[in-house]
Amino acid sequence: MPPISMKPPALASGQAIGVCAPASPPPQEDLGRGLAVLASLGHPLKVSGTARATGGLFAGSDAERAKALTDLWDDPETGAIVCARGGYGSLRILPFLDLKAMAARPKIFAGFSDATALLIALSSQAGLVTFHGPVVTSLGPGTPEDAADLAAAFTCAAPVTLKAPRPVTLAPGRAEGKVLGGNLTTLCHLAGTPWQPDLDGCLLFLEDRGEAPYRIDRMLSHLRLAGVFNGVRGVALGSFTDCGRTEVLHPVLLDAFSKTGIPVCAGFPAGHGTENRTLPLGIPARLDAEAGTLRYLESALLP
């Protein structure tokens, strides 16, 4: 089982929100639009040099990107950190981070897509509650509800409920467990590494973008055969954007868990789709596959 959850304090009035790029350099126009949305939440911003990087595959060297994240984490004025974008490269900085030291000083950390590597590593290896939610470059074109939901996740100590607007029950039932997961491709890349999560007793959340159904099947099959899914109690599926027709994709998603008898529900508004609600990782929730709800049983934040 994952370690006992360590919750970060709620973002206090006057505390800064830090922004760093642990992977690819963000398009600066998209970054500017997203920073304006982030600033509208009423907190000062601290933008690392990696977030201002342009060109190249990564926003600085692995060591530079890890240092930018660590520096924001060590800054006492910064209460939350949001990834500038996804892209590729977050898993490369994992060896440069002292995850347990970071979790010993709990801080709100949010992102999705490629940042799944950091979310999972902090949650499953160090016990820190993290937040699967928008990156800065997705806030500009995102919905106002996404920004409001991100702000509430940073400041509200009440348990949250994620509701699928049009739930698709692939396998009925109810289950409870800690929520872990994120981007399927990134989760697959963690398999066999020291940062592979222990999903025993967990509810698994998955989403992805731009992967054909056969590649989705290949990743799910690899994770299943590697034993990564052992002990999973239920599956909540977010958006699978540009991943093929649902009548082809849903059977592929179900097949990976069909012999386990666990509940599987698709349609949650999180991931690369038009909506990307914020959901905590590392605390228990109750999945109701027929109602299409993921109801958290406790707060993700310290009051």
Alpha carbons 53 and 128: distance in angstroms, whole number:
28
Sheet holding 264-266, edge to edge: 161-163, 293-296, 284-288, 174-183, 202-209, 234-241, 264-266, 168-171
207 is catalytic: yes
Alpha carbons 30 and 6: distance in angstroms, whole number:
33
Burial zone of 262 (CB within 10 Å; 0-12 exposed, 13-18 middle, 19+ buried): buried
For 161-296, CATH gives 3.50.30.60
End-to-end Cα spacing for the chain: 26
- Give the residues across from 261 on adjacent strands: none
pTM score: 0.96
For 32, residues 6+ apart whose C-beta sits below 8 A from its C-beta are: none
- Tell me the CATH class for 16-155: alpha beta
Structural contact between residues 78 and 106, judged by C-beta atoms closer than 8 angstroms: no
299 is catalytic: no
Q: Which of 124, 207, 211, 250 is catalytic?
A: 207
- Give the residues across from 236 on adjacent strands: 205, 265
Instruction: Name the average pLDDT for the chain.
Output: 96
Helices (H), 227-275: 246-255
Asked, colleague to colleague, whether 16-155 and 161-296 share their fold, the answer is: no
pLDDT tens-digit profile, the chain (303 residues)? 556 679 999 999 999 999 999 999 999 999 999 999 999 999 999 999 999 999 899 999 999 999 999 999 999 999 999 999 999 999 999 999 999 899 989 999 999 999 999 999 999 889 999 999 999 999 999 999 999 999 999 998 889 999 999 999 999 999 999 999 999 999 999 999 999 999 999 999 999 999 999 999 999 999 999 999 999 999 999 999 999 999 999 999 999 999 999 999 999 999 999 999 999 999 999 999 999 999 999 999 998
61 is catalytic: no
Q: Which residue has the tokens 């999560």?
A: 197
For 265, residues 6+ apart whose C-beta sits below 8 A from its C-beta are: 164, 167, 168, 169, 170, 234, 235, 236, 237, 287, 288, 289, 290, 292
Domain ranges of the chain: 16-155, 161-296
Alpha carbons 155 and 14: distance in angstroms, whole number:
12
Show the tokens assigned to 288.
């109701």
Q: Which of 113, 124, 138, 239 is catalytic?
A: 113
